[in-house]
Amino acid sequence: LAKTTQPISMDSYEGQEVNITCSHNNIATNDYITWYQQFPSQGPRFIIQGYKTKVTNEVASLFIPADRKSSTLSLPRVSLSDTAVYYCLVGDIEIGGNNRKLIWGLGTSLAVNP
Amino acid sequence: NAGVTQTPKFRILKIGQSMTLQCTQDMNHNYMYWYRQDPGMGLKLIYYSVGAGITDKGEVPNGYNVSRSTTEDFPLRLELAAPSQTSVYFCASSGIGQGTGNTIYFGEGSWLTVV
């Protein structure tokens, strides 16, 4: 399984764009990149998923370079409510059930300040 | 649509006691999981199930047991509780679709303290 590395913590201010980069140098051909968000005292929540190039939804954008050895989660104009831990996960989830093989690291603790 | 529901939310156990954490999902998902999360740490997989009647160990199964008699329910049994089992427990489920069809849906967590 591809090991991921992401910053332990980040600070930002309301209204700014936040970019969290995740390194996954040994990503496999069949691996997807998935990001989850976890608020204090809650379970993680799916944010976005991608395989290559760029993916955008109503919450975030995910940028993946051609070599796929890293990815960047972009949160536009963050608010205080975006304060959470963000997890980058890499794994072959094309086949149902491979979620059990995902490795949950420490994530990136994002603090949004007023 | 309630998603994944787990109970109880909070529980204090004495060393050596046993208890069952209940989990049910209403999304007709084949896959269900139990994770534990210690303070400031990532999730660790305890047990998982790929369907009714089928369960298997995850990364940290010792001290726990599970069963999956129906698609909806996946209870986690703690036998002979120990202080090392003090943690937050999350039940989760996912479908068998491709790509985002495998999104994991989590319950709100159960805070367990063993004293």
Q: Does B100 touch chain A (CB under 8 A)?
A: yes
Q: How far B38 CA sits from the closest chain A CA (Å)?
A: 11
In tens, the pLDDT along A28-56 reads 988 889 999 999 889 999 999 999 989 99
Q: What is the mean pLDDT of residues B47-71?
A: 95
Beta carbons of A43 and B33 less than 8 Å apart: no
From the list A95, A23, A30, the residue with the least C-alpha distance to A65 is: A23
Q: What is the mean pLDDT of residues A67-74?
A: 96
- By percentage, how much of chain A surpasses pLDDT 70? 94
3-class DSSP assignment, residue A20: strand
How many beta-carbon pairs under 8 angstroms link A with B?
A: 69
pLDDT above 70: residue B86: yes
Beta carbons of A43 and B107 less than 8 Å apart: yes
pLDDT above 70: residue A94: no
What is the pLDDT at residue A14? 97
Beta carbons of B96 and A93 less than 8 Å apart: no
Binding-site residues on chain A for chain B (CB distance < 8 A): 32, 34, 36, 41-46, 49, 51, 87, 93-94, 96-100, 103-107
Q: Work out the pLDDT band at B96, boundaries 50, 70, 90.
A: confident
The residue type of A4 is T
Q: What is the mean pLDDT of residues B11-33?
A: 96
Beta carbons of A49 and B101 less than 8 Å apart: no
DSSP for A49-94 reads: EESSEEEE-SS-EEEE-TT-SEEEEEESS--GGG-EEEEEEEE--S
What is the pLDDT at residue A16? 97
Judging contacts by C-beta atoms under 8 Å, the chain B residues touching residue A105 are 42
> In the numeric block, which tokens belong to residue A5?
């590395």
